[in-house]
Structure 1
């Protein structure tokens, strides 16, 4: 952990006060590379300490006396950018470094007022940043460090052109950092085109300290019964589940049905207002509801502790997507379960990519208020033996 010794006493002190006993693998690898000024492409699972891995070198390299935006962090969702800003605020407390959040759905005028004060760091979402740059309210040329958090999402089709424009408006000598839980071909293209001999770093889930045991399972269910199955799962004891749906239309339909039935479930999606999203997350974090149902994009980068289950309401399109979502459970030494609601039409696709898992998924059913191994046939056999 000798990278800590490379930091100024103030950051060393804050590291100690935060109670960190050991650094995460991505922090050990990334911090020295960033301090050396290198461009970086880093792959590490969700919740493995990526934010601090890029934030500490940014704080170290910022000159608080210079009234200019020196670092920009871009995130694909409002939630993730809010989470990042909260971490930055904790660390800069008592220093002259300042941070401003620039996200869609928030008051533009207030953001412009804050920009006039020349914050040291800005954290934002692509749409709002692009709008401010186009209106000449935000200048990219002073930025020395640019971080793309959840870079694969930022480089997906919906953001790709905006991101290229933003990157191209920065000075040639700036440092470009891209972090993600999965590295896609689009990310590699960015690395090749826009980075100077980037350092590539990779941390796998098994490299992490204290990984819990994760069970992979599935319940066979008709497509039209999935919403009702979710409602039943939300009533099980000791469940704190993140449930993923592949598209927004399906999610909105399920949300309406579940609200009508007073299920212990909240939804998270791009069409919600900022305060609605905050309320949903708070209810889930506090345990007032037991299932948070979301699309991939809406849940990107969310750091939620003690998730007992990840539920694939829809089978993901790729193994990477499956692994990415599934990485939300079994953290910090706790066990977890990855449960897929498997419709007949998706069986072949599911079997194909779960071959790559370390253990074979087990079939489960809901029986007696619990998730148990077996299928409806084995239960009826048990009944007939009585």
Structure 2
């Protein structure tokens, strides 16, 4: 991870605080190339760390003292734009780098106010960016770094014309970076026509860490039964699990119920005082409780050894989120398990993004105080055969 040492101390410190022990393959390959100012076409699976692979070099190369838009990131959907903005906000907190989000479906007036303040970085969707450029509210010639995230979608027929216009309005010496989970013919054309000797980077699912050591499993459960299932899981011998809930209200409700039911569980959330946080973490580290239930925000930067399980109490919203949370087990050569409590309404969403995983997911049930492979029907049949 030599590239980290070359970054400004502020970004090195934030990297450390985020608790990343190693860089993902795409980051190791792409960050030095971006820092060198090269045009890039990078292919890497969903959830493999692409966002940070371009965010870090952008942060390193922009100058917040200069009041102009220096970098632009274009994404095909509002959701992806918002995720990128969240990553940027997290990393730029406490610095002078400013970020504005320019997406369709949001208040234009508010976006124009932000543009007047000359943000350092803008993130947007093609339609809204095009609208702002046409009305001369957004000037493309100032941009030094242009990143196309999900480039294959941006270059599909519906966006292609707009994208070509936007790219052609930038200066020739700007850096153009395109990242995508799949490289299509359209992407190849962009590389050929609009890039200067692009560096090609390709990362496959086989190159990703977490291979072999981690089992990805799920238990089918009704939404209303999740809290009780968590309580039962907390009594499994040798369990040391980090459990994630998507929002604070759900977490507070579950914490309340679990307290009354003799569960070996502590919660961690943003409304806790520093001492309460420390007490919860200590009891988990010492093994007095076997499950620490938290929101993603509360668990950021936590360094906890020997986590046997990561439990997704709620299915994460994105593959990135799933992999980021899941990466907390199976470390340092130890085995681990990622268990999702799967309610019927989330099945399609879960299946869609777990098909990207290097290994197949396994269905399990909690039976006789153990997590075992199978479903309730096969377990019942086994019982009958005895």
TM over 0.5: yes
Distance in 2 between residues matched to 1:75 and 1:2, nearest whole Å: 29
Q: Is the 8 A contact 2:49 2:320 kept in 1?
A: no
Tell me the SS of whatever aligns to 2:38. Answer: coil
Q: Does residue 99 in structure 1 map to residue 69 in structure 2?
A: no
**Distance change in 2, residues 1:19/1:380 (3 Å):** closer
**Deviations 1:76-100, CA, capped at 9 Å, x for gaps:** 2222222222222232233332111
Aligned positions of 1:9-48 closer than 5 A: 9-48=9-48
**Distance change in 2, residues 1:326/1:286 (3 Å):** closer
Larger mean Cα displacement after TM superposition, 132-141 or 179-188? 179-188
Q: Does residue 178 in structure 1 map to residue 178 in structure 2?
A: yes
Q: Does residue 148 in structure 1 map to residue 148 in structure 2?
A: yes
Which residue of structure 1 lines up, in the alignment, with residue 344 of structure 2?
Answer: none
Q: Is the 8 A contact 1:310 1:329 kept in 2?
A: no
**Deviations 1:287-343, CA, capped at 9 Å, x for gaps:** 989xxxxxxxxxxxxx999575999xxxxxxxxxxx99997996444535899xxxx
Q: Does residue 139 in structure 1 map to residue 139 in structure 2?
A: yes
Which residue of structure 2 lines up, in the alignment, with residue 169 of structure 1?
Answer: 169
**Distance change in 2, residues 1:109/1:199 (3 Å):** same
The unaligned stretches of length 5 or more in structure 1 are: 220-228, 239-279, 290-302, 312-322, 340-353
Distance in 1 between residues matched to 2:377 and 2:93, nearest whole Å: 60
Q: Is the 8 A contact 2:246 2:314 kept in 1?
A: no
Tell me the SS of whatever aligns to 2:140. Answer: coil
Q: Is the 8 A contact 1:75 1:148 kept in 2?
A: yes
Larger mean Cα displacement after TM superposition, 87-96 or 58-67? 87-96
- What TM-score results when the alignment is normalised by the length of structure 2? 0.61
Distance in 1 between residues matched to 2:62 and 2:127, nearest whole Å: 26
Distance in 1 between residues matched to 2:31 and 2:311, nearest whole Å: 28
Tell me the SS of whatever aligns to 2:47. Answer: coil
Q: Does residue 213 in structure 1 map to residue 214 in structure 2?
A: yes
- What TM-score results when the alignment is normalised by the length of structure 1? 0.61
**Deviations 1:120-171, CA, capped at 9 Å, x for gaps:** 1101122211211122111111111001122223223332332222212211
Tell me the SS of whatever aligns to 1:85. Answer: helix
Which residue of structure 2 lines up, in the alignment, with residue 118 of structure 1?
Answer: 118
Distance in 1 between residues matched to 2:14 and 2:140, nearest whole Å: 30
Deviation (angstroms), 1:19: 3.7
Q: Is the 8 A contact 2:226 2:313 kept in 1?
A: no
Which residue of structure 2 lines up, in the alignment, with residue 267 of structure 1?
Answer: none
Larger mean Cα displacement after TM superposition, 109-118 or 126-135? 126-135
Deviation (angstroms), 1:101: 0.9
Tell me the SS of whatever aligns to 2:51. Answer: helix
Deviation (angstroms), 1:20: 3.3
Tell me the SS of whatever aligns to 1:58. Answer: helix
Larger mean Cα displacement after TM superposition, 168-177 or 181-190? 181-190
